[in-house]
Amino acid sequence: MTKYLIVIIAILVTGCATVATSHRPSDYYKAGGNEANNEPLFGSTGESLGDIDIDRILNYELKLPAQNRIAILKLSNDSYWRHYSNDFTQLNETIARDFVGQLRESERVYDASFLPSMLVPEQRTVPYLREAAARYQADLLLAYRSSCRTFEKYKFIDPNETKAYCSVEVVLLDVRSGIVPFTVVSSNEFSARKELGDTNFNETIKKAEIAAVAESLKDSATLLMSFLSSIGTLQQEL
* CATH number assigned to the domain comprising residue 225: 3.30.160.150
- Separation of alpha carbons 191 and 2, rounded Å: 21
Query: Does any domain span residue 236?
Result: no
Query: Does any domain span residue 182?
Result: yes
Query: Does any domain span residue 59?
Result: no
Query: Does any domain span residue 160?
Result: yes
Query: Does any domain span residue 62?
Result: no
Q: How far is CA 33 from CA 30, 153, 175, in A?
A: 5, 54, 19
- Domain range for 124 is 2-21+69-230
Predicted model pTM = 0.81
Query: Does any domain span residue 101?
Result: yes
Query: Does any domain span residue 170?
Result: yes
**Domain count of the chain?**
1
What is the residue-level pLDDT of the chain in tens, covering all 238 positions? 444 443 433 445 556 778 888 877 877 776 655 655 667 888 665 677 888 888 988 888 999 999 999 999 999 876 555 555 666 677 678 888 999 999 999 999 999 999 999 999 999 999 999 999 999 999 999 999 999 887 665 554 566 677 778 899 999 999 999 999 999 999 988 777 666 665 666 777 777 788 888 889 999 999 999 999 999 998 876 5
- Separation of alpha carbons 133 and 175, rounded Å: 7
